[in-house]
Structure 1
Amino acid sequence: MYDPYAHAEALGVAVLARRIGAPTGLWVPRLRVIFVRPGLTARHERSVVAHEVAHVVLGHSATSRKEERAADALAARNLIDDRRFAEVARWTQQRHELAVELGVTERILGAYLDERERHAGN
């Protein structure tokens, strides 16, 4: 199972809980730190950290909608195992239930489903 915290550590990036205003997470390249808003649920925090780690891996230093989508897509690929998704999807198609069972946010699940749809069309 993918561990975004271990991945951040392997990349030499610290993950710190800090009040950061409206965002739930923030990658600060010059500090090599990912800030995460305190008080998130475990699955929300895990999804946020995976998303911010994706920014690190993708070399993002600023954010645009395109970079946000790319970070969501990479986080989704890392967090959601295809076999586990298939197991859960056998008993529910409800997005919230799928997300909870997969341990991700609905946003990350949405990115995963978008990627599946995009690849099914090819």
Structure 2
Amino acid sequence: MVRRLRTANGRWFPDYNTIVISDRLRARDQRLVLAHEIGHGVLLHADERPKYEKQADQFAARNLIDPEELADLYEWCPDERRISAELGVTTALFRAFVLSQAA
């Protein structure tokens, strides 16, 4: 659901099995926040611990980034900002993907 949020871009409410996304975000950013919040739901996070935020970012990154497309982009240009832009993700999600692949 999309609603006005004052302090966050999105929130997972486990008691209600509901995700709320800020109405102030552009469609691209709503997609990224939604993937992150779905990660919280799938991983059954009950609060906002830093380790849960990292796990939700890695979940979102694994579901938004195609490894084959990433490999093709690395051949084209090794710059993470340009690759992130081409993939339609933030550099933070790009880094989360790289970290999740190294683990």
Q: TM-score, normalising length from structure 2?
A: 0.88
- What residue number does 1:93 align with? 78
8 Å contact 1:23–1:37 — kept in the other structure? yes
Residues 19-43 of structure 1, C-alpha deviation per residue, up to 9 Å, x if partnerless? 2112111001122211111232333
- RMSD of aligned alpha carbons: 1.4
- What residue number does 1:52 align with? 37
Deviates more, 1:48-57 or 1:82-91: 82-91
Secondary structure of 1:90 counterpart: helix
8 Å contact 1:43–1:105 — kept in the other structure? no
Question: Aligned residues: percent identity?
Answer: 36
Q: CA deviation at 1:107?
A: 1.7
Tell me, in whole angstroms, the C-alpha distance in 1 between the residues paired with 2:78 and 2:55. 24
Tell me, in whole angstroms, the C-alpha distance in 1 between the residues paired with 2:72 and 2:56. 25
Tell me, in whole angstroms, the C-alpha distance in 2 between the residues paired with 1:51 and 1:36. 11
Gaps in structure 2 of 5+ consecutive residues = none
Gaps in structure 1 of 5+ consecutive residues = 1-15
Secondary structure of 2:19 counterpart: strand
